[in-house]
Amino acid sequence: MLPSYMKPVRHDWTKQQVEDLFEQPFNDLMFQAQSVHRKKFNPNEVQLSTLLSIKTGACPEDCKYCPQSARYDTGLEVEKLLAVEKVIEEAKLAKDAGATRFCMGAAWRSPKDKDLPYVTKMVQEVKSLGLETCMTLGMLKENQAQALADAGLDYYNHNLDTSPEYYGEVTTTRTYSDRINTLGNVRKSGMKVCAGGIVGMGESKADRAGLLMQLANLPQHPESVPINMLVKVDGTPFEDEKDLDPFEFIRTIAVARIMMPESHVRLSAGRESMNDELQALAFLAGANSIFYCDSLLTTANPKANQDMALLNRLDIVPEKNKINIDPSDQEEILHKKILSAKTDHLFYNAVN
Ligand code: SAM
Ligand code: DTB
Ligand code: SF4
């Protein structure tokens, strides 16, 4: 009989099976994850997404990890919905830097119907640059998901964040089933689903298993699965949370890879505090997507040239765009990026 990790895409995981995956010796887990990864993906490619906050702070929700909740004093500068022109400008920069997907995030509980014409315009304009588009705007009703899909939005991000059992410790202003409902509305609209969670919030190993079980037992796996390491922001209730053992983080990525073998698993927030060696282990565990931008929504991310240098040291190349971009255009951008990353380390910065 085939071992579970060699079986095709499954949606019937039990908690015990997921916990058993986590409990294996680390090297066995890594070997399985890398074996699964190689069946569906080029192991030396990573997808690059650039993230932009299109509306920052003053969010009415109480997610305890989030610097953008109006309930916590995090010293954040609040910003209204960005003008479409500003978004296009940022998207062009992202494309020139070699990103293939542009993700736009808003600190909303859910969008108001009056916001939709603005965000759908953003989708159309960014898409016309030849970038894949993704948005994360909070909960969506069926008609809102359909309007975004009709505008051409490729992906919608909405995270489950943690297990159903731990969820009440994290957010009280929306329920786990609200989140599942939004994912259902996104799926029904025909958009691709981006859904994952956060680790390092004081949850147990069983909770990490519970989160992955929920994601993998959805009727269809999310095409993109962001695994965020909590970014501890002063002023949020989780500011003093104990550090998670980095190997537990890697195990979470590896188990996600095994359970969702056809999905992109994104090594998401938290890279700013990870060294190159840990990120390399995450890629070995099957992560094949990153946020490629100097900042996430409100917190720092490694600089683009630092990322290019890391990918270059690991002989990893950026994954090509799957949609309407002129291939010669994209090859030229990436070639230039890789060349400059190759030479960067030969010079020391005489200014510092
Ligand atoms: N407001 C929308 C929502 O919550 O659905 C969209 C934006 S929200 C910031 C997107 C996701 O970012 C959250 O669901 C959470 O998983 C992640 N996130 C937010 N703050 C984080 C932090 N401090 N560390 C890690 N991930 C975080
Ligand atoms: C996701 O899973 N992670 C991103 C994205 N989806 C929108 C957000 C990370 C936010 C980290 C904290 C901040 O920068 O505010
Ligand atoms: Fe608001 Fe999203 Fe932050 Fe929750 S995660 S407080 S919904 S911006």
Identify which has the larger pLDDT, 211 or 351.
211
Write down the H helix ranges in the chain: 15-23, 26-40, 84-97, 116-128, 142-150, 176-189, 205-216, 246-259, 276-284, 304-313, 327-344
Please compute the mean of the pLDDT values over residues 80-84 and round it to a whole number: 90
Judge whether 240 lies within some domain.
yes
Assess whether 134 carries a catalytic annotation. Answer: yes
CATH of the domain at 170: 3.20.20.70
Judge whether 226 lies within some domain.
yes
Of these residues, 66, 179, 251, 271, which one is catalytic? Answer: 66
Yes or no: say if 257 and 36 are a contact pair by the CB < 8 Å rule: yes
Residue 182 lies in domain: 41-351
**Which residues does 106 contact at the CB level (< 8 Å), separation at least 6?**
53, 54, 55, 81, 119, 135, 136, 137, 138
pLDDT reading at 168 higher than 50: yes
Q: What is the enclosing helix (H) or strand (E) of 105?
A: strand 101-106
pLDDT of residue 349: 41
Judge whether 13 lies within some domain.
no
Judge whether 29 lies within some domain.
no
Judge whether 252 lies within some domain.
yes
Tell me which amino acid residue 309 is. Answer: A
3-state helix, strand, coil in the chain (%, to 5): 40, 15, 45
CA 265 to CA 270: how far, in whole Å?
15
Judge whether 308 lies within some domain.
yes
pLDDT reading at 335 higher than 80: no
pLDDT reading at 321 higher than 90: no
For the chain, how many structural domains are there in total? 1
The share of the chain scoring above pLDDT 90, in percent, equals 84
Yes or no: say if 293 and 23 are a contact pair by the CB < 8 Å rule: no
Span from the CA of 34 to the centroid of ligand 2 (angstroms): 26
CA 50 to CA 139: how far, in whole Å?
22
Q: For the chain, what's the residue count?
A: 352
pLDDT in tens, 153-163: 999 999 999 99
pLDDT reading at 224 higher than 70: yes
The pLDDT confidence band at residue 1, using thresholds 50, 70 and 90, is: low
pLDDT reading at 81 higher than 60: yes
Please compute the mean of the pLDDT values over residues 291-316 and round it to a whole number: 94
The pLDDT confidence band at residue 320, using thresholds 50, 70 and 90, is: confident
**CA angle at 240 for the pair 237 and 243, rounded to the nearest 5°:** 125
Judge whether 143 lies within some domain.
yes
Span from the CA of 32 to the centroid of ligand 1 (angstroms): 30
Largest CA distance in the chain: 62
Judge whether 53 lies within some domain.
yes
pLDDT of residue 331: 56
Residue with tokens 């736009």: 104
pLDDT of residue 324: 47
Ligand sitting nearest the alpha carbon of 249 = 1
pLDDT in tens, 36-76: 999 999 999 999 999 999 999 989 999 999 999 999 989 88
Please compute the mean of the pLDDT values over residues 214-241 and round it to a whole number: 97
